[in-house]
Every structure is written in structure tokens, then in C-alpha cells.
């Protein structure tokens, strides 16, 4: 979702080939994922055409981006280098519980005071 939103913001469209390249996966993997996202109501797409987010998809993409940014900021606050924090956040953000994410946010607010 986040990669689709980023491509839409950068290029005005998200294509399977661009998503595959960005995510380091095959176009088959992207097509399967897009199928699931379409069935769930998050994207619209047609064969050989761009992929677009629905309203529900835009909301989820924004939530994903916020989660990612929070995890990266928390890791950076711990002294983790930017590049490592970005890479690690990709895994952490998908598994972190809402309670832990809230604790990350609280720790960041406290550290900024």
C-alpha cells in the first residue's frame, strides 16, 4: 500500500513493473498481491494498466506510512543510522502491536521535550 501511494505521488501512476522493482519481488508476486488488494477494496486496476488506490486504500496507505515513520523515528532516536533504520522498519512495522507503537510515540514525545 505504501509503495503504491509513493509511486502515485512521485509518478502519477503505479505500475506492476515499478512496484516489482521497488519491492525487489517478481511481477507475479505483485499481480497476486494486487488481486488480493483489489478484492479487499483497496485498489482498482485493469490488466496492463496503472494501479490506483480507492479511498479506503488511501486511508490504509496513510496509516502504513505513519507506522513506518514512527518506527524509523524511534530507531533513529536510539542512534540507529538512517539507512539501517529504514531497512529494519520495513520488517518491524508489519509486526509491531498497536500498544508497542503507542509506546514508541510516547517515548518520542518525551525525548523531544
**Per the structure, how many domains does the chain have?**
2
Q: Which helix (H) or strand (E) holds 106?
A: helix 98-112
Tell me the CATH number at 11: 1.10.10.10
User: How high is the pLDDT of residue 37?
Assistant: 96
107 in the same domain as 88: yes
The secondary structure of residue 11, as a DSSP letter, is: H
Write out pLDDT tens, residues 49-100. Answer: 899 999 999 999 999 999 999 999 999 999 999 999 999 998 898 899 999 9
What is the pTM for the complete model shown? 0.81
User: How high is the pLDDT of residue 113?
Assistant: 81
Helix, strand, coil share (%) of the chain residues, nearest 5: 70, 5, 25
Residue ending a domain, among 35, 53, 71, is 53
Domain region containing 7 = 2-53
Write out pLDDT tens, residues 26-55. Answer: 999 999 999 999 999 999 988 888 999 999
| Cβ atoms of 30 and 20 closer than 8 Å | yes
Q: What is the DSSP string of 75-93?
A: HHHTT--HHHHHHHHHHHT
CA distance 81 to 102: 22
User: How high is the pLDDT of residue 31?
Assistant: 93
Amino acid at each position: 500500500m505504501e509503495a503504491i501511494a509513493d509511486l502515485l505521488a512521485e509518478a502519477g501512476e503505479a505500475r506492476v513493473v515499478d512496484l516489482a522493482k521497488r519491492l525487489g519481488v517478481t511481477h507475479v508476486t505483485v499481480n497476486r498481491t494486487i488481486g488480493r488488494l483489489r478484492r479487499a477494496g483497496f485498489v482498482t486496476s485493469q490488466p496492463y494498466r496503472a494501479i490506483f488506490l480507492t479511498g479506503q486504500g488511501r486511508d490504509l496507505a496513510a496509516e502504513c506510512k505513519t507506522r513506518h515513520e514512527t518506527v524509523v523515528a524511534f530507531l533513529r532516536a536510539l542512534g540507529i543510522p538512517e539507512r539501517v533504520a529504514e531497512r529494519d522498519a520495513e520488517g518491524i512495522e508489519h509486526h509491531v502491536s498497536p500498544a508497542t507503537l503507542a509506546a514508541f510515540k510516547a517515548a518520542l514525545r518525551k525525548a523531544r521535550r
